[in-house]
A = this chain, B = another copy of it.
């Protein structure tokens, strides 16, 4: 069975528990296929999980990750919907640019802290 993953395949690949993956399904973020009662994950679901976890590392809520997934994988072909989706995309892009700036600010501040620390070590008293 190429191309299909079990729940524990994904769990060990991404270092999360199976509980977490099922939880994301409960919340409607993942929709694996079933063979009997057993979940099977295709590449599409794998990508979704990847997106959720990347979002998690960036401090996103599951609802935000849900939005991100929708941007990747639009449910509608309706032009109206696609345009509002486009707006959401632009908004998210703005947020991410802002986040980058905050990361950079913190990096700057850490450089200062590093310098202060080095000074205090080499130049005690």
Contacts and interface: CB of A to CB of B under 8 A. Distances in A.
A57 B54 contact: no
Interface residues of A, number: 41
A106 B96 CA distance: 8
A89 interface: yes
A17 interface: no
A77 B124 contact: yes
A109 B54 CA distance: 12
Contact of A103 (B82, B85, B89, B100): B100
A58 interface: yes
Interface in A58-86: 58-60, 68, 71-72, 74, 77, 79, 82-83, 85-86
12 contacts: A54-B102, A55-B106, A57-B59, A57-B99, A71-B113, A74-B116, A77-B124, A79-B124, A83-B121, A89-B114, A100-B103, A100-B104
Interface of A: 51, 54-55, 57-60, 68, 71-72, 74, 77, 79, 82-83, 85-86, 89-90, 92-93, 96-97, 99-100, 102-107, 109-110, 113-114, 116-118, 120-121, 124
